[in-house]
């Protein structure tokens, strides 16, 4: 009887999800095989927006022996970790926030320490939740995370940056975006770049963790030429439907 009730609840949950127009959620996250089989080449052009300490950069470099990776990170603490970790001519790091305009922008610096983290790992405080968007519900969902400091950082649109760095005519094989609630800013400043981007992976949350943050469905509406490959509990992997990519 318990199994039957559990099955009924699951069916109801699926019906509600379908009525809301939501994509089915898959357990886990993006794997080596998902990425290598999708990109299908050893030398992809990868843009990593929000590279933090370079752990994912390291993953990309190992997966793709001839990859060209451009990484963007505005938090000076994360940049120091990145430069200590990554020493490759195939990966360039840029001290920038990617947004919807060129110039300068306020960056809300995250601090504090999660219960399962150590001061040895984060000697300058938690550096994984900073954003160009003002923190909102994240203050309730993660009460240990503080935002006591705001710094001014340089910002560029991705379209401008690509134009300035000779990438405006190149196909981007993969964008990895971890921008803490600022995806709409990234997208609005990257319309041209996204047109020629094959795959896009980003985190999402349907709560307004940061002021003005958009949920999954509004995010997908902003990207009409992309389709969902896989939706995970906190991330989504998208493929460009345009011909020739």
Reported as a single tens digit per residue, the pLDDT across 99-120 is 999 999 999 999 999 999 999 9
- Residue 124 within a domain: no
CA dihedral 187, 193, 198, 203 (to 10 degrees): -20
- Residue 14 within a domain: no
By the 8 A CB rule, do 93 and 82 touch? yes
pLDDT of residue 245: 77
pLDDT of residue 243: 77
- Tokens for 14? 């699926």
Which range (1-5, 30-34, 48-52, 175-179) has the least confidence?
1-5
Beta-ladder partners of 146 = 111
pLDDT tens, residue by residue, 140-174:
999 999 999 999 999 999 999 999 999 999 999 99
pLDDT of residue 20: 47
Strand 45-49 vs strand 172-177: parallel, antiparallel, or unpaired? parallel
- Residue 222 within a domain: yes
CATH number of the CATH domain containing 93: 3.40.50.150
Number of domains in the chain: 1
Q: Give percent of the chain above pLDDT 90.
A: 89
Phi, psi of 233 (to 5 degrees): -65, -30
Per-residue pLDDT band at 127 (split at 50, 70, 90): very high
- Residue 69 within a domain: yes
Beta-ladder partners of 93 = 71
- Residue 130 within a domain: no
Mean of pLDDT values over 58-76: 98
Q: Report the C-alpha gap between 213 and 95 in whole angstroms.
A: 23
Per-residue pLDDT band at 6 (split at 50, 70, 90): low
Which range (12-16, 25-29, 54-58, 113-117) has the least confidence?
12-16
Per-residue pLDDT band at 2 (split at 50, 70, 90): very low
pLDDT of residue 8: 45
pLDDT beyond 60 at 10: no
> pTM of the full predicted structure?
0.90
Strand 172-177 vs strand 197-203: parallel, antiparallel, or unpaired? parallel
Mean of pLDDT values over 55-70: 98
- Residue 9 within a domain: no
- Residue 115 within a domain: no
- Residue 17 within a domain: no
Q: Report the C-alpha gap between 30 and 69 in whole angstroms.
A: 18
Domain of 232, in residue numbers: 31-99+157-240
């Amino acid at each position: 009887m318990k199994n039957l009730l559990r099955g009924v609840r699951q069916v109801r949950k699926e019906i509600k999800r379908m009525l809301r127009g939501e994509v089915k959620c898959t357990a886990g996250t993006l794997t080596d095989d998902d990425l290598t089989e999708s990109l299908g080449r050893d030398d992809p052009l990868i843009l990593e927006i929000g590279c933090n300490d370079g752990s994912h950069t390291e993953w990309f470099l190992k997966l793709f022996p001839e990859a060209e990776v451009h990484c963007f990170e505005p938090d000076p603490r994360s940049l120091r970790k990145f430069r200590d970790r990554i020493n490759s001519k195939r990966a360039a790091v840029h001290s920038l926030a990617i947004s919807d305009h060129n110039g300068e922008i306020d960056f809300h610096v995250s601090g504090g320490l999660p219960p399962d983290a150590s001061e040895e790992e984060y000697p300058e405080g938690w550096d994984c939740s900073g954003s160009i968007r003002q923190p909102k519900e994240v203050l309730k969902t993660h009460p240990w995370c503080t935002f006591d400091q705001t710094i001014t950082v340089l910002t560029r649109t991705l379209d401008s940056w690509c134009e300035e760095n000779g990438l405006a005519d190149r196909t981007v094989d993969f964008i990895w975006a971890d921008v803490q609630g600022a995806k709409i800013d990234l997208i609005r400043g990257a319309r041209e770049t996204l047109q020629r981007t094959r795959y896009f992976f980003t985190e999402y949350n349907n709560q307004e963790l940061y002021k003005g943050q958009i949920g999954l469905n509004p995010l997908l509406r902003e990207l009409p030429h992309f389709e969902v490959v896989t939706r995970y509990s906190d991330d989504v992997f998208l493929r460009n439907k345009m011909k020739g990519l």
